[in-house]
Chains A and B, each alone.
Chain A
Amino acid sequence: MQRTPGTPVKLLAIVCLAAPLHAGAQVSNPFEGDARAIRAGERLYANRCAACHGADGKGATGPDVTMLWLEGTNDEHVFQTVREGVDGAVMPPSFAPDEELWAMVAYLRDISTVPPFDPAGGDAGSGREIFAANCAQCHRVNGDGGTLGPDLSNIAAVRSREALIGSIRDPSETVEAGYRTVTLVAADGERIEGVVKGEDAFSIQVVDTDARLQGYLKANLRRFVHEDESLMPRFGRLRLSERELDDLLAFLGTLREDASADR
């Protein structure tokens, strides 16, 4: 194996400053939270993993790797997966030194963790009512609610407070994949609004505003338009005061606790 002379092994140098591994029942990451290791891990990840898992870890040909801790994994398990690869899949084993693997684990954990948000001030009980009145027709939590929008049971664990506020105040700013809006005009002139679940050159699969799953042949439509706007209405201050928003967020935050208690 060739190592270019004059190519210093910077990353290794960084991570080797930290303590060696301890033997123990559950091996913990010697670099957990270590900013330098996380930076090193980021570069290693970009070099060796991003092609399959996406530059942001959100998945490409390989799966999203930013939800692992949320789904109940631990550092050692991720370490072993990266070391051994996934049998029968293209996920390769890694022959890199332990330190590099731990640095990548530290990085993955860093990008996977959304700081818990402070429910200070918000009243979860009132938030539950606001949710039932304004949101449940389109969103499920813990099994109840509508299906036009995404399930929000876990949303506080995977989105920051700022992102949630953005989604509620101005939904069209970022529209979730799998929930893009489409307007169809059928041959008889009927207008159908819905979110796109699938599309190819000849057909489109839609969940309409009545939550009906329906496929359409493009050739049979008078026209179809992909809209930039979200199907979720804007909840501006007139519709949802700052106080009510806090209550709503507090409610969504308690769901997060419930969800993690199940694991």
Chain B
Amino acid sequence: MSMRKTLVLVSGLLLTTTVAGALFAQSDPSDSVPGDPSDPGVSYADILRGFDDPSSWLTYSGDFSGRRHSPLTQINRENVNRLAPAWTFQTGTLTRGRGFETTPLLYDGVLYVTGSNNFAWALDARTGRPFWTYQRDLPDNLTYGRVAPVNRGFGMLGNRLFMVTLDAHLLAFDRRTGNVLWDVVLADYEIGHAATLAPLVIDDKVVVGISGGEYPTRGFIDAYDPATGDLVWRFYTIPDWGEPGSETWPNEEAAMQGGGGTWMTGSYDPELDLLYWGTGNPNPDYYGASRLGDNLYTASIVAVEGATGELKWHYQFTPHDIHDWDSNHVPVQAELMIDGEERKVVMVANRNGFFYVLDRRDGELLLAEPFTDTTWAREIGADGRPIVLNNDGSGGCLPDQWGGTNFMPPTYDPALELFFVNARETCSSYVPFEPEYVRGEATTGGVVWTDRDVEYGALRAIDVMTGERLWEFRYPSATMAGVMSTAAGLVFAGDHQGNFMAFDGATGENLWYYPTGSRIWGAAAMTYILDGRQFVVIPSGTTLVAFALPRYEFASPAGGR
């Protein structure tokens, strides 16, 4: 890591912070969020700039590419071992059975954070002190929202924040006060729906998805008008009966309750105007006999036009899935030189244990290699379909129902051309049976037997050109924690024992760790720089913890506020 680079970056940021500081001075910071009352807030152009301004973080993955790769280099391989907690925010709300899965957004020195049980906060990004707290009054007959009372973050545009809820609504807030501006219903929560993802704001649209694929539901992606909350378009992940794709279901009834949730934030290519979105398991999860066929577009990635919601292409990772292997992952974009030609690609490390590279213009499969050791399938055939060796686990280990990885964000470092993912090595077998349908009850349709003695987790570095594993770092159990990388060549990861860790991305050497005291579950770190000091933030248990180098480690340009 070159010293000069850091200096340039810091002095570049000096300008930004001075401007922000000037705005700040004009307002009274005591009750609501600071700022110029005439500040129009976040523009779409700001979101498009993504990581160009590392003193903000305006969309779930930091930018539209889904890479979660920050340009910040103040914290680097040499000094990361001196990283220390700068502040801790106690949310006071417990996520039973799941995790604190959010990624905060940062704008003008304020972190906007969603929490479990539909709490939300605006926090001073330098101290973790709250400006406002919101808690939604939820009905007591939640369905999936009770099983997974989680939320993964806000979307943001202008002075508005957007958040989905466990009773399957979409809300718009005034970021300065936390007041709700509008509230629209996405779907009927009483039949099994909930909403948990971070909305993705694209040009004049708030794009959201839905949870509930364990119930007799039909998944969709929706786009809403950020000003009014009016529905602009809806894309159903299971086609209307008679439309292309519906022939992969035995009958209309099975299709219309066939699941295919869209509960993880996608990525977006503004030039192609294509949204890349993962779709969930077919319903019932483990019982396939009532839904013979491929069950499109479940367990797939869909490329949907931002303007219209029209499907451009799809690729199904797990045809006719019977393992609850949702494909709800962050699709990660990159530009790769393949056979002398620059290809715009989208990459997915899938719950089924394979790492895929697809051309993101047309969905052509460029690479598919296993990144876990299980025996479900070891190769993808020329027709793009897995060559299944062992579909129920009777012939060796299958990934459990949580998969070879899950929705926790991976990261991609374009300088190293390495994709980093927390892999889960588990050993399960699946016994299906015909389920009963009861309103408001999940219809899993089977039992999963897992040998808990042999599982482990591992952070793995995958060479995106070959799919080969370059290195791994093992944890004693399978993890659900996400990963972030920075231009300093660092990879930040969490594990199930609660360690928050930094690695040398090139070698896999562990450089630093901090035991947070609670498993890191479903969340990846985010990072930003304020007043010349780089912070790294991770949700863990009921807390949000920010790390930074001790102040004496670097010259504080403004001397603090």
A interface with B by C-beta (< 8 Å): 1-5, 7, 9-12, 43-44, 46-48, 50-52, 55, 61-62, 85, 88-90, 92-96, 100, 199-202
- Give Cα A95 to B495, complex, Å: 36
Place the interface of chain B in its size category.
35 or more
The answer to whether A89 touches B475, judged by C-beta atoms less than 8 angstroms apart, is no
Flag if A5 contacts B440 (CB, 8 Å). Answer: no
20 contacts between A and B (CB under 8 A): A1-B216, A1-B439, A2-B216, A2-B257, A2-B437, A7-B437, A46-B433, A47-B442, A50-B444, A50-B447, A89-B96, A90-B148, A90-B149, A92-B146, A94-B441, A200-B475, A200-B497, A201-B474, A201-B475, A202-B513
- Cross-chain contact A201 with B473 (CB below 8 angstroms): yes
Chain A residues within an 8 Å CB radius of B146: 85, 90, 92
Chain A-chain B contacts (Cβ-Cβ < 8 Å), number: 98
A67 vs B102: C-alpha distance when bound (angstroms): 36
| Contact flag A4-B441 (CB < 8 Å), given A90-B97, A201-B495 | no
In the complex, which residues of chain B have a beta carbon less than 8 angstroms from the beta carbon of A93?
141
Closest to A198 in B: B497
Residues of chain B within 8 A of A92, CB atoms compared: 143, 146-147
Q: How far does the Cβ of B250 sit from chain A's closest Cβ, in whole Å? A: 10
B476 at the interface (CB under 8 A from A): yes
Whether the Cβ atoms of B147 and A47 lie closer than 8 Å is: no
Shortest distance from the beta carbon of A174 to any chain B beta carbon, whole Å: 10
Quick check: is B293 within 8 A (CB to CB) of the other chain? no
Contact yes or no, B435 A47, CB < 8 A: yes
Q: A200 near B433 (CB under 8 angstroms)?
A: no
Interface of A is mostly: loop
Please provide the chain B residues from 166 to 221 with a CB less than 8 Å away from any CB of chain A in the complex: 191, 216
Residues on A with beta carbons closer than 8 Å to the beta carbon of B434: 7, 10
Q: Of A9, A61, A94, which contacts B97 at CB under 8 A? A: A61
Chain A, Cβ-Cβ closest to B401 = A51
Residues of A contacting B245 in the complex (Cβ-Cβ under 8 angstroms) = none
When the two chains form their complex, are residues A200 and B256 in contact, meaning their CB atoms are under 8 A apart?
no
CA distance A96 to B433 in the complex (A): 18
Q: For residue A149, give the distance in angstroms from its CB to the closest CB of chain B.
A: 19
Contact A4 B444, beta carbon cutoff 8 Å: no
Q: Which residue, A4, A12, A52, has most C-beta atoms of chain B within 10 A? A: A4
Chain A residues in 8 Å Cβ range of B149: 90
B231 at the A interface (CB under 8 A): no
- B290 near A: Cβ within 8 Å? yes
Q: Which residues of A contact B473 (CB under 8 A)?
A: 201
Tell me whether B499 and A46 are in contact (CB under 8 A). Answer: no
The one of A46, A62, A100, A201 in contact with B497, judged by C-beta atoms closer than 8 angstroms, is A201
Check if A95 sits within 8 Å of B440, measured CB to CB: yes
Q: Quick one: which of B113-162 are within 8 Å of A by CB?
A: 141, 143, 146-149
B437 contact set on A, CB distance < 8 A: 1-4, 7
**Nearest A residue to B459 by beta-carbon distance?**
A201
With A47-B443, A92-B147, A96-B441: A200-B495 Cβ-Cβ less than 8 Å: yes
Is B230 an interface residue, CB under 8 A from the partner?
no
Across the interface, which residues of B come within 8 angstroms of A96, CB to CB?
438, 441
- CA A92 to CA B147, docked complex, whole Å: 7
- In whole angstroms, how far apart are the Cα atoms of A61 and B519 in the complex? 13
Q: How far is the CA of A3 from the CA of B254 in the complex (A)?
A: 10
**How many angstroms from the CA of A2 to the CA of B283 in the assembled complex?**
13
Q: Do the beta carbons of B439 and A201 come within 8 Å of each other? A: no
Q: B residues 74-102 with Cβ under 8 Å of A? A: 96-98
Minimum distance in angstroms from A76 CB to a CB of chain B: 22
Question: Which 7 A-B pairs give the minimum distances between C-beta atoms?
Answer: A200-B497, A1-B439, A61-B97, A46-B447, A90-B97, A90-B96, A55-B447
Closest to A54 in B: B450
Chain A min CB distance to B399 (Å): 16
Q: Please name the residue on chain A nearest to B479 by beta carbon.
A: A201
